[in-house]
A and B are shown apart, each in its own frame.
Chain A
């Protein structure tokens, strides 16, 4: 019994201690010249969906909910953001080569279509980020059209 008490106390100490360690926040508060919205005109309806459902992990600006400050959740979230941005960062989309932009647009359409994005681990907590059938179609249609217009650009 005494041992269990000690272990519980130790766990509590660690839990309290890690609350003081907060990972750096992904919040640049500025729109880079490489931001997708600066380089391409995106319909407002599409932009709204991207902001709600994608930007938390795929841009330099995350909207942090209150519970994101509770550890170890904050670490978990930080790693999601890091991986998400490595694969696709809308804030730096303009710095990608035209080929890479095309591939990314195609992957956007593919992953939304097969449901692998947005991640279910994310939408469970962020219910509003779930994509309705209409919004899925909206983004897929936009990404496909924009990809096609980029491939025209390469041919010219």
Chain B
């Protein structure tokens, strides 16, 4: 019996020694100090869109089309595409103003895309994040340009009549929020160049 007690004590001391995970609340302080993007390059063409912005848009449109088809697993894959595109985004060709707007949407785009990517079986949850993603994408496109003609569409019925927007590459209405039930419900609000 004595041996057992000693055994427990030794075991416990060993384990608790390896258990010094203290929470670092200080991390937040560092994070908050303004995220200054340093770039030594000067921009000759501030409006030029890098391929990476296009990649993010492509990922978004891929997700939009998956939601139009009520396909959650395709939307989840598109979410992964978007996350990668944001990660490898080359901001060197953007103007300072554009960099600032990109920095402001990047974390949110990634987070919303991430939620979509892990909720392939919950399409309604994906649609909630898709709506937030649309807001980010709209601001990104407004700031950095789309490199193609896009349409900013409005669905008046989603969210119990509160309405929601989405961005499409085609003029024809194909609603990603209500899927097959209400495929052609909605209207073009704005053409984005």
With A28-B23, A32-B25, A99-B139 given, is the CB distance from A20 to B12 under 8 Å?
A: yes
Interface presence of A16 (CB below 8 A): yes
Overall SS of chain B's interface: helix
- Determine whether the beta carbon of B15 is less than 8 Å from that of A97: no
Q: What are the residues of chain A within 8 A of B112 when measuring CB–CB?
A: 103
| Inter-subunit contact A34/B139 (CB<8 Å) | no
Report Cα–Cα, A137/B68, bound state, in Å. 32
Contact, CB under 8 Å: A94 / B32: yes
Asked if B169 CB lies within 8 Å of chain A CBs, one says no
Instruction: Give the contacting residue for B12; candidates A21, A33, A91, A92; CB below 8 A.
Output: A21
Minimum Cβ distance to chain A for residue B18 (Å):
8
Chain B residues within 8 Å of A21, by CB: 12, 15-16, 19
Of chain A, the residue at the smallest CB distance from B27 is A92
How far is B21's CA from A13's CA once the two chains are assembled, in angstroms? Answer: 24
Partner of A99, one of B7, B8, B19, B136: B136
Q: Are A102 and B132 in contact (CB under 8 A)?
A: yes
| Chain B positions within 8 Å of A30 at CB level | 25
Query: Bound state CA distance, A66 and B111, in angstroms?
Result: 35
Given the contacts A21-B16, A99-B105, A92 and B11 also touching, CB distance less than 8 Å: no
Q: B107 interface residue, CB < 8 Å from A?
A: yes
Taken together as a complex, chains A and B put the C-alpha atoms of A91 and B132 apart, in Å, by: 22
State the CA gap A102–B131 with chains docked (Å).
12
Contact with B along A54-87 (1 / 0, CB 8 A): 0000001000000000000000000000000000
Task: Mark out the residues of chain B between 102 and 131 whose CB falls within 8 Å of any chain A CB in the assembled complex.
Answer: 103-108, 111-112, 128-129
Name the one of A27, A32, A97, A106 contacting B132, with C-beta atoms under 8 angstroms.
A106
Say whether B31 faces chain A, with CB atoms less than 8 Å apart.
yes
Q: A17-B12, A103-B112 are in contact. Are A98 and B21 (CB under 8 A)?
A: no
Interface status of A3 (Cβ within 8 A of chain B): no
A100–B12 touching, CB < 8 Å: no
B44 at the interface (CB under 8 A from A): no
User: Which residue of chain B lies nearest to A94 when distances are taken between CB atoms in the complex?
Assistant: B32
- Asked if A103 and B111 make an inter-chain contact with CB atoms under 8 angstroms apart, the answer reads yes
Q: Assuming the A-B contacts A13-B7, A17-B11, A30-B25, are A97 and B19 also in contact, with contact meaning beta carbons closer than 8 angstroms in the complex? A: no
- B107 & A97 in contact (Cβ 8 Å cutoff): yes
Which chain A residue shows the least CB distance to B110? A100
Residue B181 interfacial (CB < 8 Å) = no
Interface bits B1-45 vs A (CB < 8 Å: 1, else 0):
000100110011101100111110100110110000000000000
Question: Which listed residue, A23, A34, A106, touches B19 by the CB 8 Å rule?
Answer: A23
Per the bound structure, the CA–CA distance linking A22 and B17 in Å amounts to: 10
With a cutoff of 8 Å between Cβ atoms, the chain A residues found around residue B106 in the complex are: 97
Contact A24 B21 (CB under 8 A): yes
State whether the Cβ of B135 lies closer than 8 Å to any Cβ in chain A. Answer: yes
CA distance A34 to B12 in the complex (A): 38
A90 to chain B, nearest CB (A): 11
Query: Within residues 140 to 166 of chain B, which ones have a CB less than 8 A from any CB in chain A?
Result: none
C-alpha spacing A16/B25, complex, angstroms:
31
Tell me which residues across on chain A come within 8 A of B7, comparing CB atoms: 13
A-B contact pairs, 5 of them (CB 8 A): A18-B15, A24-B19, A32-B29, A99-B104, A99-B136
